[in-house]
Amino acid sequence: MAVARQFQGPIDLHAHSSVSDGTETPAELVRAASAAGLGTISLTDHDSTAGWAEASTAARDEHLTLIPGMEFSTRVQYASVHLLAYLFDPADSALLAEMTRVRAARLSRAEQMVARIGMDYDLSWDDVLAQTTPDATVGRPHIADALVARGHALNRSAAFADILHWKAGYFQPHYAPDPLRAIELVRAAGGVPVIAHPATRGIGDVVSESRLTTMAEAGLFGLELGHRENKPEPTARLYELAAKLGLLVTGSSDYHGTGKPNRLGENTTAPEVLERIIAEGRGSAPVYG
């Protein structure tokens, strides 16, 4: 007998709070999701689960379903690959060690980038700290906000197109594990891994058929093909590969508050797919608010 679904739709499985580079607190994000008419939201801050508790409380208040998640930074040479992870154990020691290492690398990398930018622009590390919450996962968006506050850019997007663009010469990569290892870590922690925005520019090689086959064998659950930054041609190719390899397809907004134009619920995930994620997630439980 089929178990009745406990979650509500529409379902948006990718959103950021001020625990990383979103502009709203976890509770504000959950309230915004409710106001946008969503029934289920996943909080997927970069490399951190620090917002889960606050988001859970807000989800109960708002009668919204919360899927605890994270967007885990991984890397193949110079290509940054984001791995969404759902319903994993936030206390798993191997995963936690890698998250801690990535967050430390992000911090020193941001400090180094700001030191270099500071040679050409009036910008200090304190300017960046003023744009982050305590213990937030620091990223280029915070540097962008500091550049905006100093009047060097009009908004985040403009800062990314100009001073933070790799062509400007200030960009630096940071340590992150290989996606294959990240998939194994997430599965070992009881989580469900999905490659975020896999058809964006720059990660074409990473999602080749041979690499995807290896990742599927290692436990990759799916591909986030519903995302505004995916390009049409590689997206069409990945739909075919997903069908061939048995990977499921998700869609989500990647909402960052006022930090990005992405709107909550602009892409959504099918209930059947969320049902599978919940069935496979063993490290933590959804909050049925």
Residues at the site binding ligand AMP, with contacts judged by CB under 6 A: 21, 139-141, 156-157, 160, 256, 259-260
82 interacts with Fe ion by CB under 5 A: yes
Closest to ligand AMP by CB, 16 or 187: 16
Under 8 Å between Cβ of 254 and 262: yes
| 198 backbone dihedrals φ, ψ, rounded to 5° | -80, -5
- Distance of closest approach, residue 118 Cβ to Fe ion, in angstroms: 23
Tokens at 194, concatenated: 């999905």
d(CA 249, CA 196): 10
Least distance (Å) from ligand AMP to the CB of residue 2? 37
- State which of positions 244-263 bind Zn ion (CB under 5 A): 254
Site string for Fe ion, 121-140 (x = CB under 5 A): --------------------
Residues 19 and 236: their CA atoms lie apart, in Å, by 33
In the complex, least distance from residue 73 CB atom to ligand AMP, rounded to whole angstroms: 6
Binding mask 68-97 for Zn ion (x = CB under 5 A): ---x--------------------------
Contact 78, 175 (CB under 8 A): no
Q: Which does 152 bind (CB under 5 to 8 A by kind): Zn ion, ligand AMP, Fe ion, none?
A: none
Site string for Fe ion, 25-64 (x = CB under 5 A): ----------------------------------------
Instruction: Quickly count helices (H) and strands (E) in the chain.
Output: 10, 8
Please tell me whether the peptide bond between 10 and the residue prior to it is cis, using omega within 30 degrees of 0: yes
21 forms part of the interface with Fe ion (CB under 5 A): yes
Contacts with Zn ion, 103-132, as mask; x by CB under 5 A? ------------------------------
Could you give the CA distance from residue 94 to residue 97 in angstroms, rounded to a whole number?
A: 5
The residue whose two tokens read 């590390």 is 125
Please list every residue from 263 through 282 that binds Zn ion, using CB under 5 A: none
Per-residue tokens: 70? 């994270």
Residue 185 CA, distance from chain mean position: 16
* Contacting range for Fe ion; rule: CB under 5 A; set: 62-70, 75-83, 206-214, 234-242: 75-83
Candidates 52-60, 83-91, 150-158, 189-197 — which segment interacts with Fe ion by CB under 5 A? 189-197
At closest approach, how far in Å is the CB of 47 from ligand AMP?
9
In whole angstroms, the minimum distance from the beta carbon of 145 to Fe ion comes to 12
- The contacts of residue 252 (CB under 8 Å, 6+ apart) are 12, 13, 14, 15, 42, 224, 226, 227, 267, 268, 269
CA distance 241 to 50: 34
Binding residues vs Zn ion (CB under 5 A): 71, 254
